[in-house]
Amino acid sequence: MGAERDIVAKAAVLVDMGTAKILWEKNKDLGRPPASTVKILTALVTLDRVPPTEFVTLPIAATTSKNSGVLFQRGERLAVQDLLHALLLQSSNDAALALASHVGGSTPKFVELMNQKARSLNALHSRFLNPTGLPQGGQVTTARDLALITKAALANPEFRKIVATKSYSWKSLKWEGVLENSNELLKSYDGAIGVKTGNTREAGYCLVAAAQRGDKALIAVILGSQEKRVWQDARHLLDYGFKILDSVTSGSKSLIIP
């Protein structure tokens, strides 16, 4: 596909979800700020440890965070599954802090769990310092590490269902309405199944995208792209991956896996 010319991201990787084989990469082990893609790991650690139906009492830290995606009221009780939808669809930092406090007992202890989980998945080039993805010196991940984390997260049925949700009815004490998924590929790319957007000034525009067609499934990780190109980067990679997998299935040798 001439992928080297098409992908503007600082780092990217395309992975066959079934085999975990890397089909294409650009700076796959380059340390980059993760922005809100870190919330994939936040959700995974949460689902590892508490059921989605469990209730969380909102701490003060989860009602005063910067760049809040959803307004909460201190002391109100919300189900884990509601907070996960706020976390993954609208990137709520409040939800991330609430889940971290509930699951870990404190944010620092939850971050320890995040790093332990990453190491257990062989995501060894990452260092996580908070569950939100907000800028913090020394917090880095890599395209390959995020692919490993995402592959594990998508193996969880609850996570997979949430990130594929286009909209979710929401009601809390401060706000009632519909959460819209920020991942526009769910509405525009054939077979898209999730997973998470993110951007900060330091990180640039980031996207972890997954798609499935029949028995073929792919994960594309884009780090450090541009606002108008991040979606295009993901589409290029996913299109390329499906062409490769279709070629392998048909026995054609016209496409060679890099």
Domain boundaries, the chain: 3-250
Q: Which residues of 171-201 are buried (b: 16+ CB within 10 A; e: fewer)?
A: ebeeeeeebebbbebbeebeebbbbbbbbbe
Q: In whole numbers, what is the pLDDT of the chain averaged over residues?
A: 91
pLDDT tens-digit readout, 195-249: 999 999 999 999 999 999 999 999 999 999 999 899 999 999 999 999 999 887 6
pLDDT tens-digit readout, 21-45: 999 999 999 999 999 999 999 999 9
pLDDT tens-digit readout, 64-88: 665 555 678 888 999 999 999 999 9
Write the burial class of residue 160 (CB in 10 Å: 0-12 exposed, 13-18 middle, 19+ buried): middle
Instruction: State the architecture of 3-250 in CATH terms.
Output: 3-Layer(aba) Sandwich (3.40)
Report the pLDDT value the prediction gives residue 256, as an integer from 0 to 100: 35
Hey, what amino acid is at 123? A
Q: Give residue 148's Cα distance to chain centre.
A: 11
- Among residues 202, 223, 93, which one has the least CA distance to residue 145? 223
* Alpha-carbon span 173 to 199, nearest angstrom: 28
pLDDT at 51 over 60: yes
Q: What is the pTM for the complete model shown?
A: 0.93
* Alpha-carbon span 251 to 111, nearest angstrom: 46
Which residues have a catalytic role annotated?
36, 39, 91
Stretch 106-131: mean pLDDT: 97
pLDDT tens-digit readout, 151-178: 999 999 999 999 999 999 999 988 899 9
